[in-house]
Every structure is written in C-alpha cells, then in structure tokens.
C-alpha cells in the first residue's frame, strides 16, 4: 500500500546558544505546539510519535525519549527513537513519513532536538578524553581534498559563510544573525581547523523542530497548503574502507539518485527550485552540490562564485541561513525538511524564494556516511 503523504504542520523553536528559560521537555513542546497550531490539530489527532536526536553523550542523558514520552504526547501511543548522528532530523522525518506511506498510521508527529548548552559536543565526540578534534577536525582533511581536486579559490568558503549569515538575518528562528558580515570579516576570523575559519563554522545551539506528516485525507483537511512528499531516501556507508571517497561519498550519490528517480527528476539543477542542504562548514555547500550531482565535477564552487546559490539566484541554497547559522545538531536535519516545506507552501516569510514548486531537503551525519533526503512539491504526486 502506497499512501500519498504530506507535511501539514511545522514548528521550530527560537534557536539560541542557551535556552535557559525551558527544560528539554519544554523545548520540544515549544516546537510541537507550533507544528500543531500550524496544522490546526491537537495531540489527540496524532497516531504515533517519532523522536530523533544526535548522540546521547551531548547532554549526558541516556535514551531521553523515555522521560520525554509524556511531554511529546506519546502516552499510550507508539513512540520510536531514531539516531543517525547529524542526519538524524532528516531520518526521523523519513521514518515518520514511512509509517504514513505504508498505511500503518494516518498522522504522525516527528520531532528532533538538541540542547547543547546542557553538555559539550566536543567532549561528547571525544568520549571525554583529550585529543578530541570535533566534527570540524574530522571533516577538514576532506575539505582540503575538495579544494585541491577542484582548484576552488579560498574565497568560495567565505562567500558561503557571508550568504548564509545574511540569509539568517531574515529568519526569525535562526541563531546567528549577522546582516553586516563581510568577506573581510570571515577571512580575518581565527583559523579553527585548517582550512575552516571561525566564521565558516556552525554554532552550538539549543533548539527543536517538529513536523506533522499525514495521509491524503489529512492533507485535504489541512487549513494551510500541504507540502507533498514526492521522494524520500536514506543511505549509509562505512566511515572508512579502502577506496572510500569521503569528498563524494557513494551513499550520498545513491541517496540523491534515489529521490530524483522517485520524483521524476532527470536534471536536478533545472527541475529543483531551491535546496536546504546540511552545510555545517562552508565548503560543504559546493561539496554537496557536486556530491548530489546538482553540479558536475569541479562545478559546484562556480555556482557559489556566480551567485547562483544566493537567495535571489537561479538555485538558492539555504535561504533559512542553514546549519552554518543554526545548529542544534539533532534538530538540524529536520529543519532542512521543515524549511523546504515552508518554501513549497509559500510560508517561508522574509526568506521566501519566489515561485517554489519543487524543493530539495538533505541531511548528512557521522563521518559523512549517513544521508537522508527528500523532494517536496506544492502539488500531490500523480
């Protein structure tokens, strides 16, 4: 059984360095309440809840979905936890949607979060030991390899950082809003993990994102335009094996090809109107443009250079400001899907791209080894 499926409600918290004003449960409920209000539903209308977050070591609470069950409205309902590192927000939405597409449930609440101020992600990634390098240190050699292979000039990374921070200034939920950022400021910021500078790196945020997925009947009842799901895919590969190309991981290539095929897309660059890609460090924008075959080899950085990925460009990437501006790790993948949904619904506000009919959402995680992708449209699948 293949039910049509749509996103009919999305909710994000305001993202900040510290959300001392709410507990973890309160943080999730803030996103959930906004998503329910958007869909004009109550928790009674929800059949099941899927919850996602990155490693438990980030807050030091093991299996937090158990104590959160009541707060997320899962009392006496099926509750499922997803964990696929940084891609988890995307995978969580995919898992929720699969329960609708297969006809198991009619309406599913998906929610993803991180409250990084309650712990230390660098400490968590290092297993509490010295010598930790953070995510930036793990990805930096691959960004160096991309720069070397593609011949991209240094300023491409700075351009992505400037674009995303300026876009974030138009997004009321974004963490870092820097309308006055310049290439000079990015270039002069401290080097963290060569070649990544401070302003080319994501922040640590507290925040949550929720999305309600439902079947065709649910979408018909929705008070606002639904974002129809035309393709969903997850793929993974080992983090290390001989012959692995972490600059263009095969799992990412196959995940992209799978969603394009499902959505009938043969030329992503012309048939997709905008994309929300998981770009925690500036160089990942051109790397994913190439890694998902939106641009040819060595062409991704040229899309950045010519302004094609700007808010007013031919292929806008991360009009929300992206992960570079807001990174509550577990939530970040779902924010990509939520922002893509708002774009096809025409509800993105000040960072709305004109005339979006088809949007791409992507999240990645681990050693660039887990991928979750989706294609959303403003019209239902045929």
Cα(67)–Cα(70) distance, integer angstroms: 7
Our CA dihedral for 246, 250, 251, 253, rounded to 10 degrees, sits at 110
In which element (H, E) is residue 377 found? strand 370-377
Cα(316)–Cα(195) distance, integer angstroms: 25
Residue nearer to another protein on the CB measure, 142 or 228: 142
A 10 A CB-CB count for 151 gives 8
Report residue 69 CA to chain centroid gap: 23
3-state helix, strand, coil in the chain (%, to 5): 40, 20, 40
Q: Give the C-alpha distances (Å, rounded to integers) separating 194 from 138, 200, 202, 212, 287.
A: 11, 11, 15, 40, 17
- Examine residue 151 and tell whether it contacts another protein (CB under 8 A): no
Q: Which of 242, 266, 355, 382 binds another protein (CB under 8 A)?
A: 242
Residue nearer to another protein on the CB measure, 104 or 126: 126
- Examine residue 192 and tell whether it contacts another protein (CB under 8 A): yes
Question: What three-state secondary structure class fits 209?
Answer: strand
Q: Which of these, 338, 330, 325, lies nearest to 17 by C-alpha position?
A: 325
If binding means CB under 8 A, how many residues of this protein chain bind another protein? 43
- Examine residue 140 and tell whether it contacts another protein (CB under 8 A): yes
Cβ 358 to another protein shortest distance, Å: 32
- Examine residue 284 and tell whether it contacts another protein (CB under 8 A): no
- Examine residue 193 and tell whether it contacts another protein (CB under 8 A): yes
Cβ 73 to another protein shortest distance, Å: 17
| CA-only gyration radius of the chain, Å | 19
Does residue 254 contact residue 274 with C-beta atoms inside 8 Å?
no
- Examine residue 350 and tell whether it contacts another protein (CB under 8 A): no
Cβ 116 to another protein shortest distance, Å: 12
Interface segment toward another protein; rule CB under 8 A; list 74-82, 130-138, 260-268, 313-321: 130-138
Q: How many helices and strands, by DSSP H and E, does the chain display? A: 14, 11
Q: Which of these, 310, 360, 12, lies nearest to 165 by C-alpha position?
A: 310
Interface segment toward another protein; rule CB under 8 A; list 92-100, 193-201, 210-218, 307-315: 193-201
Cα(44)–Cα(296) distance, integer angstroms: 48
In which element (H, E) is residue 341 found? helix 329-345
Cβ 300 to another protein shortest distance, Å: 20
- Examine residue 71 and tell whether it contacts another protein (CB under 8 A): no
Interface segment toward another protein; rule CB under 8 A; list 108-116, 238-246, 300-308, 310-318: 238-246
Q: Which of 194, 217, 254, 267 binds another protein (CB under 8 A)?
A: 194
Cβ 16 to another protein shortest distance, Å: 7
Q: Supply 89's token pair.
A: 């927000």
- Examine residue 26 and tell whether it contacts another protein (CB under 8 A): yes
Cβ 81 to another protein shortest distance, Å: 21
- Examine residue 25 and tell whether it contacts another protein (CB under 8 A): no
Is the bond preceding residue 337 a cis peptide, omega within 30 degrees?
no
Interface segment toward another protein; rule CB under 8 A; list 17-25, 279-287, 316-324, 326-334: 17-25
- Examine residue 62 and tell whether it contacts another protein (CB under 8 A): no
Residue nearer to another protein on the CB measure, 21 or 40: 21
Using CB under 8 A as the criterion, what x/- string covers residues 309-348 for binding another protein?
----------------------------------------
Cβ 214 to another protein shortest distance, Å: 24
Crossing angle of the two packed helices 134-150 and 284-291, in degrees rounded to 10: 60
- Examine residue 137 and tell whether it contacts another protein (CB under 8 A): yes
Q: Give the C-alpha distances (Å, rounded to integers) separating 234 from 4, 15, 135, 295.
A: 19, 26, 21, 21
Judged by the rule CB under 8 A, the positions of this chain that interact with another protein are 13-14, 16, 19-22, 26, 30, 33-34, 120, 122-123, 126-134, 137, 140-142, 144-145, 148, 190-195, 238, 240-244, 246
């Amino acid at each position: 059984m293949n039910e049509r499926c749509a996103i009919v409600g999305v909710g994000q918290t305001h993202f900040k360095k510290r959300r001392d004003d709410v507990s973890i449960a309160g943080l999730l409920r803030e996103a959930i309440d906004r998503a329910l209000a958007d869909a004009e539903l109550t928790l009674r209308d929800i059949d099941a809840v899927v919850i996602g977050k990155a490693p438990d070591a980030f807050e030091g609470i093991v299996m937090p979905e158990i104590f959160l069950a009541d707060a997320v409205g899962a009392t006496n309902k099926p509750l499922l936890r997803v964990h696929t590192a940084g891609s988890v927000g995307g995978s969580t939405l995919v898992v929720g949607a699969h329960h609708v597409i297969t006809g198991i449930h009619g309406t599913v609440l998906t929610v993803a979060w991180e409250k990084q101020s309650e712990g230390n992600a660098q400490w968590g990634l290092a297993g509490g030991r010295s010598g930790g390098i953070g995510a930036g240190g793990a990805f930096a050699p691959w960004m160096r390899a991309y720069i070397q292979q593609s011949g991209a000039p240094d300023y491409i990374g700075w351009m992505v950082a400037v674009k995303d921070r300026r876009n974030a200034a138009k997004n009321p939920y974004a963490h870092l809003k820097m309308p006055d950022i310049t290439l000079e400021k990015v270039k002069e910021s401290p080097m963290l993990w060569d070649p990544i500078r401070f302003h080319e790196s994501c922040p640590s945020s507290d925040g949550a994102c929720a999305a309600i997925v439902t079947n065709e009947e649910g979408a018909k009842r929705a008070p606002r335009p639904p974002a129809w799901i035309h393709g969903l895919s997850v793929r993974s590969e080992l983090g290390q094996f001989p012959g692995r190309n972490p600059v263009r991981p095969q799992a990412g290539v196959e995940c992209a090809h799978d969603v394009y095929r499902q959505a009938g897309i043969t030329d992503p660059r012309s048939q997709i109107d905008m994309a929300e890609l998981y770009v925690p460090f500036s160089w990942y924008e051109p790397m994913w443009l190439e890694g998902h075959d939106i641009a040819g080899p060595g062409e991704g950085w040229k899309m950045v250079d010519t302004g094609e990925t700007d808010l007013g460009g031919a292929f806008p990437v991360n009009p929300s400001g992206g992960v570079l501006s807001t990174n509550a790790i577990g939530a970040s993948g779902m924010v990509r899907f939520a922002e893509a949904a708002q774009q096809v619904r025409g509800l993105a506000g000040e960072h709305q791209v004109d005339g979006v009919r088809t949007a791409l959402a992507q999240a990645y995680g681990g050693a660039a080894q887990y991928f979750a992708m989706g294609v959303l449209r403003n019209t239902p699948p045929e």
